[in-house]
Structure 1
Amino acid sequence: MRANFRLQRLFVESDIVSGGALPVSDGQFNYLHNVLRLEDGAELLAFNGRDGEWLVRLTYPSRKKILLEPVEQTRPQPDPCDLHYLFAPLKVGRLDYLVQKAVEMGAGVLQPVMTQHVQGKIGSIDRLRANATEAAEQCGILAIPEVREPVRLIDLLEAWDRNRRIIYCDEGAETNNPMSALDGIKEKNLALLIGPEGGFSAEEQTRLRGLPFVTAIPLGPRILRADTAAVAAMAVIQATIGDWA
């Protein structure tokens, strides 16, 4: 069932049940009351990543408090997105964009990966989670991706579940077309790895190419920025062997 974009959508932490009442945070109160200027009885959509999406009615039990009363479920909770997105951090503005687009493209896990040539850093995991939540609110997704703490690439690979295939973008591939490499992938559990602006080091490339659970793909004849490469790679994966297919 498609999302209804005519109504405001809001992520809530509480369980959503008929007959209950959902509190909102101070930031959400300010947004609903002072920015949107919603009045008593206004309707919007709420979700928590567990109970589906609900039509809720806004009430003011007091001047400085808002409660959301569930009216009816509008969409059931879908299966969670299973694509893991592994990325080398970028500079703050572009990192925000990268997280938002990854959520829109169906990433279920966001895993920062520290590589040898990484140029950015993760200043705040809470900021990443807030960006992921905002993206889910805006694009109709009912589950908030899990945002994990940064990990070194070498540690990630050593502890990796061999049943989940990692796909990474290889600028040194001999072909420009990723389809032949993707067509050979039979696993349903997938992860996409995008390196830093400077690319993977020679040592990292050798390591990745030698692992049986890793597949390298090209992304056309042009060199793409890391955030552009992420969106392009996720689109190709989802359209061929992911949930678009």
Structure 2
Amino acid sequence: MIRLLVPDDLSGGRPILLADAQARYLVQVMRRGPGDEVLVFNGRDGEWRARIVAAGKRATTLEVVDQTRVQPPPGGIVLVMALVKRTPLETAVAKAVELGVAEIRLVNTERTNADHTRMDRLEAIAAEAAEQTGRLDVPRLQAPAPLSRVLEALAGGGPLVFCDEAGEAPPILAALGGLPKGPLAILVGPEGGFSPAERAGLRARVGTIPVSLGPRILRADTAALSALTLAQAVGGDWTT
């Protein structure tokens, strides 16, 4: 069944007027009309079944019928990723949503090789991935900020798994296996890696756990998805 992310509060009998893009997708692309049903969610109220009551060029309206799934409690893995070029960044965002991250924080580092990104496009990609993958929320997506500021915001929020490609570090599976269940962040650097000063600061930071992702140098998006997959398999929601 088609799933749509909507901003509206959800409860039985409530009408929903779809945004133009969603209305066109539902009526013109998917060929749905009055009487057909879809699933809707907003990241707060769980998932609900809704029925199309009016479908036209100017307006498409749904009526919320009943709840199909309750909203799970918040939590999960935070992906902290250095800003990279558009295609690998968009790939990483889409796949991170599929892998169940709770939040994506973008960071600027000394070797960041991209100076800007379109947050509206990334948010649309994240929303589409959430719709397709069956999750009931869309991860929070934080605009790029200096590494020092992001690290300060994460202080006290659980261990930070630092994917360090340039130094001696235990294999990520060994490190993850020794962590208690709870809040966790994963840090992936830019294509050129972290600078020596950044690496030294990260290794000296309380709560940072340097790890190795193996003998090969991985692209940033590959590194992010590899680390997320292993974290979910060892102690995340793949184990429940």
Amino acid at match of 2:66: E
Summarize the Cα distance change of 1:187–1:140 in structure 2 as closer, same or farther, 3 Å threshold: closer
| Offset of residue 28 of structure 1 | 0.8
Q: Secondary structure at the match of 1:150?
A: strand
Identity %: 41
Amino acid at match of 1:66: T
Q: Secondary structure at the match of 1:117?
A: coil
Structure 1 equivalent of residue 29 of structure 2: 35
Structure 2 equivalent of residue 201 of structure 1: 195
Amino acid at match of 2:203: R
Distance 1:196 1:30 in 2: 38
Distance 1:187 1:200 in 2: 28
| 2:119 maps to 1:125 | yes
Divergent runs of 4+, >6 A: none
Structure 2 equivalent of residue 45 of structure 1: 39
| Offset of residue 120 of structure 1 | 2.0
Question: Normalising by structure 2, what TM-score?
Answer: 0.93
- Contact 1:177 / 1:220 at 8 angstroms: preserved in 2? yes
- Contact 1:44 / 1:56 at 8 angstroms: preserved in 2? yes
| 2:223 maps to 1:225 | no
Tell me, which stretches of 5 or more residues in structure 1 are unaligned? 1-6
| 2:133 maps to 1:139 | yes
| Offset of residue 62 of structure 1 | 5.5
Summarize the Cα distance change of 1:178–1:65 in structure 2 as closer, same or farther, 3 Å threshold: same
Q: Which segment is superposed worse, 232-241 or 151-160? A: 151-160
Amino acid at match of 2:97: V
Distance 1:61 1:163 in 2: 46
- Contact 1:176 / 1:220 at 8 angstroms: preserved in 2? no
Match of 2:234 among 231, 236, 240: 240
- Contact 1:51 / 1:76 at 8 angstroms: preserved in 2? yes
Q: Secondary structure at the match of 1:143?
A: coil
| Offset of residue 175 of structure 1 | 6.1
Amino acid at match of 2:118: S
Post-superposition Cα deviations, 1:85-105, rounded to whole Å, max 9, x if no partner, equal 111112112211110011111
Distance 2:2 2:55 in 1: 21
| Offset of residue 169 of structure 1 | 0.7
| Offset of residue 36 of structure 1 | 1.2
Distance 1:72 1:121 in 2: 45
Tell me, which stretches of 5 or more residues in structure 2 are unaligned? none
Summarize the Cα distance change of 1:76–1:187 in structure 2 as closer, same or farther, 3 Å threshold: closer
Post-superposition Cα deviations, 1:15-44, rounded to whole Å, max 9, x if no partner, equal 111011111001111111211121211111
Distance 1:38 1:143 in 2: 24
The aligned runs of 1:109-120 (5 Å cut-off) are: 109-120=103-114
Structure 2 equivalent of residue 167 of structure 1: 161
Question: Normalising by structure 1, what TM-score?
Answer: 0.92
- Contact 2:27 / 2:55 at 8 angstroms: preserved in 1? no
- Contact 1:165 / 1:214 at 8 angstroms: preserved in 2? yes
Once superposed, what is the RMSD of the aligned Cα atoms? 1.7
Amino acid at match of 1:153: L
How many residues in Structure 1 have an aligned counterpart in Structure 2?
A: 239
